[in-house]
Structure 1
Amino acid sequence: MFQKIPQISIVDSNTLAAIGLKGILQSIIPMMSVEIFSSTEELMNAQPDKFYHYFVSSEMIGQNKDFYLKNIRKTILLTKSTTDIDKQYTGFHYLYIDKKEKELLKSLLWLEQMAHSEGRHLPPTHFTKHKQILSDREAEVMSLIVKGMINKEIADKLHIGLSTVITHRRNIMEKLHVKSVSALTIYAVINGYVNINDI
């Protein structure tokens, strides 16, 4: 019998922020379905036990502390600063959301790697390794891009021409259907091309 697609919920009254987080989460954990709720009441009416994680604004946790304390292992507090993490939130996993894109992405990748690397804690029928799409040289170039190197540095390191690096870069983006270094970073970490400590 096949299990249903694993689900994550985002509980935040800021719809724009929730939509952005949903897009990132679906990139990082593509085998998961993500639902957005603007209140804890909406979440509770949607069978909350079916969700693997709740990504919840500090405002929502403050208003419904008892519910989230009962589900503390699956709740991830979305916070803008360290001042939000005081005694009332002790024990919650948290994610600082008020940071630069690269740092936020790295934090989310850390969460994914700690909880679900290689499909850990997910139904096995829904985790599939990506086929090798890139050539060995393209994988090398991708790894260096994700580590923050510019085209000239990559060319020098790999002893290839600058135009060759540019061609590899274009081919990588086309093959993976990505348009940004952030999306490339997600792919590289999730598929084991780059260690999260190197980005």
Structure 2
Amino acid sequence: MRTKNRLNKRILNIAVLEPSQIIFEGLTNILSKSGCYFKLFRLDSLAEIENLYKAEKLNLVIINPTQIQNRTREFTSIKKNLTEIAWVGFVYTFIDNHLLSLFDKIIHITDSQESIVDFICRLVKEEHHSSQLNEQEPLTDRETEVLKSIVAGLSNKEIADKLFISIHTVISHRKNISQKTGIKSQAGLTIYAISNKIIQIEDYQS
């Protein structure tokens, strides 16, 4: 395992299933130039992935597709259970297209270091954004009621009358909603409410 670590930086946990020591070291060298902070784990088989995920919360698994050639059912099952992981095939020999289609992303040995590094850095940003969303403070019941009223197009006074609260309290709730969701516009809050199942799209359309 090789580690590149800094205090207060997000660490990307990467596992590599690659039988060639030379190829593995080449990948390690490329990843070290990404400017990202990561822990790198070398796998000997597919069977290790689930236990390693439980221990280290893997973000990315890079696999030589030949390692799943006769184990596609096992790979598909693992991938289905571990949906948070990005599954990447690293190709340097001819591989059947069906096998390649099982991966989320394919990188080739002929790809430039820049394109591979760019992919890793984008993944880090996506993971950071996902982490921020997961840590988002939930809306209170009252804030949810106010949100539904905002989406319905009610004014502050109409919301106050409907919920039997003061306009000042409505404004305070709206401020809290914007801070928690990071959204200020009615259109944006509508999308937020639908995606979080606070309202049904059919109700909004009616």
Q: Which of the five TM-score ranges fits, normalised by the shorter chain?
A: 0.3 to 0.5
- Please, what TM-score do these two structures have when normalized by structure 2? 0.46
Q: Higher relative contact order by CA 8 Å / sep ≥ 6: 1 or 2?
A: 1
